[in-house]
Structure 1
């Protein structure tokens, strides 16, 4: 039924589990109001196909089983339609179907082989991560109705080893307060909130006309959540989002850090019960990188090596304003007394957590075992995240990383990001290329077949030498990584890495400082279908960049100038 050129009514009998909706990527969103007995129960936005179907997405009908027909009231972009009869010609009305299944088998050559991705749809910030009863729970900003940003819900996956992930139904869905933006979760061991000892408590941002902070709790280890009837629990006069909560034993209270997005500040609150919050202070005006918006904070303690002291680390994700354009994660190190954070660094000092272009929204798991502080990020950049060459899904997470502090040769205290120890178990068959001296002519080796591998190189250079590693394939795609002993830098050039034309911001050369006091060390490089992550052996630098080779990289060439030696060069195929 087409009452108007832009308005269509569709009756659906929930005789199967899903309503399959056809999507055309370059269309504008249609608004779909779902009505049961005349009452609107939810709204979603979908790029309904008009001329061709790029892929399909499922709308879950199981909540409406036994309720008779449901009615979809759909407002679509007019696209020069003048009469209602023209709306009947739109492709999507014939392509909608009811089904008991939805095919999530991989249809993308760029889907990673060992990084976490959603089964389908869009993903951005990791959210609400906690460890409990042997499982690492990872939630994420998810659009289940398309591969561009929209319809923000919390997707959910879990893992017992940070390598293999099990997908679960969406954990928190939009409601009358708005869509579900980022936040985090904690375990309320002492029942301070009154929902029960061991309850998982989540705070997140509800976003509609404004951004407010809401609470939900779970008694089944985060599989389902009950929203607190007293929501919202925090309302601020200015735009603020992405609450991060943690138990502070020093004050025997909960602390919360909230990103004052446009003010370039982190707002700090305290609470005895996770429901009533008291504003304490703000930090950030004039400190570090000040461009764009500040988002996704995290605040935690780490040991200072060689001492009995601890320092507080404040993660601050910002966009734009990253070192190489667009999104990035900066951090601050200092003191925190439960009310006020004080940086050990001068306002003009900016500390970057990762020196690539594709590391953002990085936050850590609460209650991680063995006292670990383990982080994961969104592996993309807002400059081009909606345009990367995938459709069935968009975006992956970085590899999980264990965080620690270290002293630079200059005596500065900095943050290290080392691949989580569980990742060593991914190593399969090793291909060893032996020991050899670096030369300008270079040596080329064949890489293991397949899209997933880890390369480990031990090297020793003199003060005026360098060594480069070039990944390449038969189509001429290449990524060049260079260690320069004179400048003490690690550089990655992806300007000719494969598919790069989808955004002018994508071709890039990124540079990280090497903080070793001698030009020797170990480099670990993780290569997947559409990403490269490089670290030194202690995580004293990290660099994360997406790549989209037209076919997998098949060779590695090692060359350089000066007196340098490769002590070991191994390529491990990922199991």
Structure 2
């Protein structure tokens, strides 16, 4: 699927100006300065991922510091380049943090020889594992989806983003928009770091009644400012979420806790107030406000409920049918190690959330290894609850075998409810927009396809290629479990935590299975929504053979 490049990005590396040796002003064994005397728009910084971060302070003509990104500047070899927008005459003040005994003399670092200047930056996809129909950044690192909302026919997706490398660092809100939840257009950075800190996860609301005073239908963003402490800040947009102005009295919410983040805001009719959910250590706090600026704490939830194997993060509180669902992402503590999404079903009265299950009951939204930071789009049409997840796991997210970019989002999913015995569970189905991707029937699987399996009793399904790599899926009709084994799926060398079999309850008989295959992922759904499983795979060639025992499979191309 093609993505539209942002206006500052061009498609051809051939437009690079001639490479010139950079002569740094060496001030100590770990400190250098570079004067930028070029008419180009960017300096292309050479990155080596095994190098330690170097802190780059960009100093303007009046000796004012603007940005301070951390970049793994190349010491020996160049893995890839990242663009840094510059102005002629600026000064790069660089502090290296590597050990000189292992890196050698700074004067000989590869970054000085390989640094380039250009008016464009190439974002052409050169990665065999980049998905065809999942959202990814054009380059750089991505993790949690942030600030998602629907307005004027567009789905807005912001995300945790590092524009200066493909490992976690320099948290910024990247931005993409879509009209169909499948094809995404990359837009310029939305919210960047400031004196309060880098920009961690958060949410957006459409202020239809101008409660904050920034204008009717203004888009208000809430995010965590991650500095010496974690505090909550806000920004507002009067152009539909394209650009934001930061509120002049940030931060708007503070609290005495080291882990205090990820504000999720929504309107609650019962009290005519805005509600903010916050992740605080291993509990969720509920705050309220009439004007989005002045907040008061209402209550806390979670000290004795669910899984506490790690820090609670990225909350969401949703009204689904006649119940309230509190989404609680946790890292570590997932059912198969690392990060995952748990949830609680209950009631909310505008002040506190009450869980209807016993405290030790744990419910998982997805039973794969690679489904985290799940949050919903606010202002979604037709009363839908549409969510996206980050499709990775903190155990190996920085090590997966891609370079130009790292990480993708799951396909969009709609949530509902179902009962199994005395418990209420959340159902997960691919959003209706995914049906529009379905093309003609094909004989064999490809690296981007959908497979629908009509299941007859117990079933075994094997996806494989000519290199002997395979993913085995099994449904046990007696136990009512579905399993996916990726231990021989392809490249598994980058992490001992990667080769694994994941297993999920199906809460009844599995009648039909939907599989979404992309270059580096498999998402499995029971068609009735009672099971979801998301796993990354990195085959050295596409899976092109499908064998099914105990069911009939139909394969569709993705158009």
Q: TM-score range by the shorter chain?
A: over 0.9
Equivalent position to 1:162, from 155, 168, 181: 181
3-state SS in 1 of match to 2:556? strand
Residue 463 (structure 2) pairs with residue 471 (structure 1) = yes
8 Å contact 2:329–2:342 — kept in the other structure? yes
What is the aligned counterpart of 1:47 among 64, 68, 72?
72
1: CA distance, partners of 2:43 / 2:188: 16
TM-score when normalising by structure 1:
0.91
Matched, 1:383 2:395: yes
Alignment check: 8 A CA contact 1:57 1:144 kept? yes
Counterpart among 425, 432, 451 of residue 421 in structure 1: 432
* Residue equivalent to 1:353: 365
For residues 179-236 of structure 1, give each alpha carbon's deviation from its aligned partner in whole angstroms, at most 9, with x where no partner exists. Answer: 0000000000000000000000011000011100000000111111000010000010
- Summarize deviations over 1:240-299 as a string: whole Å, max 9, x none: 100000010111110000000x2x110000100000001000000010001110000000
Tell me the alpha carbon deviations over residues 350-378 of structure 1, each in whole angstroms, 9 at most, x when there is no partner. Answer: 01000000000000000001111100000
CA RMSD across the alignment: 1.3
Equivalence for 2:355: 343
1:15/1:81 Cα in 2 relative to 1: closer, same or farther (>3 Å)? Answer: farther
Q: Give the match for residue 129 of structure 2.
A: 110
Distance 1:218 1:123 in 2: 23
CA deviation after TM superposition for structure 1 residue 520, in Å? 4.7
State how 1:309-324 maps to structure 2 within 5 Å: 310-324=322-336
In 2, Cα distance between equivalents of 1:536 and 1:329: 18
**Matches of residues 350-499 of structure 1 in structure 2 within 5 Å?**
350-408=362-420, 410-431=421-442, 447-448=444-445, 450-461=446-457, 466-499=458-491
SS for the counterpart of 2:108 is coil
1:452/1:573 contact within 8 Å kept: yes
d(CA) in 2 for partners of 1:82, 1:137 = 45
Q: Distance in 2 between matches of 1:572 and 1:267?
A: 45
Q: C-alpha displacement at 1:515, in angstroms?
A: 1.3
Partner secondary structure for residue 146 of structure 1: coil
Give the C-alpha shift of residue 13 in structure 1.
3.2
- 1:557 matches 2:554: no
Q: Aligned runs of 1:224-243 on 2, under 5 Å? A: 224-238=243-257, 239-243=259-263
1:290 aligns with 2:280: no
Q: 1:80: how far off?
A: 2.4
User: What is the alpha-carbon distance in structure 2 between the residues aligned to residue 515 and residue 274 of structure 1?
Assistant: 41
Contact 2:127-2:404 at 8 Å conserved across structures: yes
Q: CA deviation at 1:82?
A: 11
Contact kept in structure 1, 2:252 and 2:293, CA below 8 Å: yes
- Aligned pairs for 1:212-231 within 5 A: 212-231=231-250
Contact 2:53 2:98 in 1 (8 A): no
After the TM superposition, list the runs of 4 or more consecutive aligned residues in structure 1 that deviate by more than 4 angstroms.
none
**Structure 1 CA distance for aligned equivalents of residues 38 and 238 of structure 2:** 30
- 1: CA distance, partners of 2:540 / 2:436: 29
The number of residues matched between the two structures is 533
CA contact 1:204–1:242 (8 Å) conserved in 2: yes
The 1-side partners of 2:196 and 2:109 are apart by 33
Q: Determine the structure 1 residue equivalent to 2:531.
A: 541
What is the Cα deviation at residue 539 of structure 1? 1.6
| Residue of 315, 322, 330 corresponding to 2:342 | 330
Q: Corresponding residue for 1:442? A: none
Deviation at 1:413, TM superposition (A): 1.2
Using the alignment, how far apart are the partners of 2:463 and 2:495 within structure 1? 22
Among 91, 96, 114, which residue is 2:110 paired with? 91
Counterparts of 1:501 and 1:236, CA distance in 2: 42
Matches of 1:82 and 1:483, distance apart in 2: 52
1:2 is the counterpart of 2:26: yes
Deviation (angstroms), 1:14 = 5.4
- What is the distance in 2 between the residues matched to 1:26 and 1:447? 40
Shift of 1:412: 2.2
Query: Over residues 138-180 of structure 1, what are the superposed CA-to-partner deviations in whole Å (9 max), with x where a residue is unaligned?
Result: 0000000001000000000000000100000110000000000
Deviations 1:458-493 (CA, angstroms, capped at 9, x unpaired): 1222xxxx2100000000100000011111100000
Does structure 1 conserve the Cα–Cα contact (< 8 Å) formed by 2:438 and 2:558? Answer: yes
Structure 2 partner of 1:299: 317
Q: Does 1:277 align with 2:301?
A: no
* Cα offset, 1:411, TM superposition: 4.1
CA distance in 1, matches of 2:102, 2:122: 37
Per the alignment, residue 266 of structure 2 pairs with: 246
Deviation at 1:55, TM superposition (A): 0.3
Confirm or deny: 8 A CA contact 2:521 2:535 kept in the other structure. yes
Judged with a 3 Å threshold, the aligned counterparts in structure 2 of structure 1 residues 228 and 470 are, in CA distance, closer, same or farther, namely: same
CA distance in structure 1 between the partners assigned to 2:197 and 2:455 by the alignment? 53
Please report how far the alpha carbon of residue 81 of structure 1 lies from its aligned counterpart in structure 2 after TM superposition: 5.4
CA contact (8 A) 2:357 2:423 kept: no
Question: Which of 161, 166, 190 is the aligned partner of 1:147?
Answer: 166
Q: CA deviation at 1:429?
A: 1.5
In structure 1, distance between residues paired with 2:506 and 2:187: 40
State whether residues 268 and 275 of structure 2, in contact with CA within 8 Å, keep that contact through their aligned partners in structure 1.
yes
CA distance in 2, matches of 1:82, 1:124: 31
Partner residue, 1:439: none
Tell me if structure 2 keeps the 8 A contact 1:5–1:81.
no
Q: Which residue of 1 aligns with 2:17?
A: none
The gaps in structure 2 that reach 5 residues or longer are 1-24
CA shift at 1:523, angstroms?
A: 0.2
SS at match of 1:358: coil
1:530 aligns with 520
